[in-house]
Amino acid sequence: MRAYLLRHAEAVPGTPDASRDLTAHGQRQVALLAKGAGQVPLEEVDAIEHSPLVRAVRTAQLLRLATGSPLPLKVLGGLEPEHDPRKTAELLAKSRRSRLLVGHNPHLAELAALLLGLADGGASVRFRKSGLLALERTAKPTRLRPYGSWSLLWMIPPDLSK
């Protein structure tokens, strides 16, 4: 089982935070990422799951459009910036099928650190906007490792997706 974590692309500043859309640069970031999205086997996932915040929704929409994918888009609550990443880790620990999640920092960086067992938490993972991270579960959850064991397969920072 794999988890593909995508941080939303660059968004316009302002308030309310939940309705900030992508900038023109952010839209280009997603288009560039989509060109290299062959590294993400979209046939492994059932949907592109995203936070309910506009910038994540738009990132998911543009990724689907740019890749020509027929995958449905699904809102997945709990991916918002300040939500507890342990709940998402529990969800991934129970998943049998690979997932593609589009969300925010600090949530995604903390989630990746939690799954990888990094003691520094999210500070250990530099997860930039429009960055894509692939993790693979190598062992099922146990009492000592409630989310299972995970390894980093690859990470595409936005400046390498050109």
Domain extent for 147 = 2-35+46-160
Domain assignment of residue 106, yes or no = yes
Domain assignment of residue 83, yes or no = yes
Domain assignment of residue 41, yes or no = no
Q: pLDDT tens digit string along 139-148?
A: 999 999 999 9
Domain count, the chain: 1
Domain assignment of residue 93, yes or no = yes
Domain assignment of residue 24, yes or no = yes
Look at strands 45-50 and 98-103 and give their pairing.
parallel
Q: pLDDT tens digit string along 109-156?
A: 999 999 999 988 888 898 999 999 999 999 999 999 999 999 999 998
Residue 150 sits in a domain of what CATH number? 3.40.50.1240
- Among candidates 49, 111, 103, 37, which has minimal Cα distance to 75? 49
Cβ pair 102, 49 in contact under 8 A? yes
The percent helix, strand, coil of the chain (3-state, each to 5) is: 40, 25, 40
Cβ pair 92, 3 in contact under 8 A? yes
Domain assignment of residue 75, yes or no = yes
Confidence label for 37 from pLDDT (cuts 50, 70 and 90): low
DSSP H or E run through 7: strand 2-7
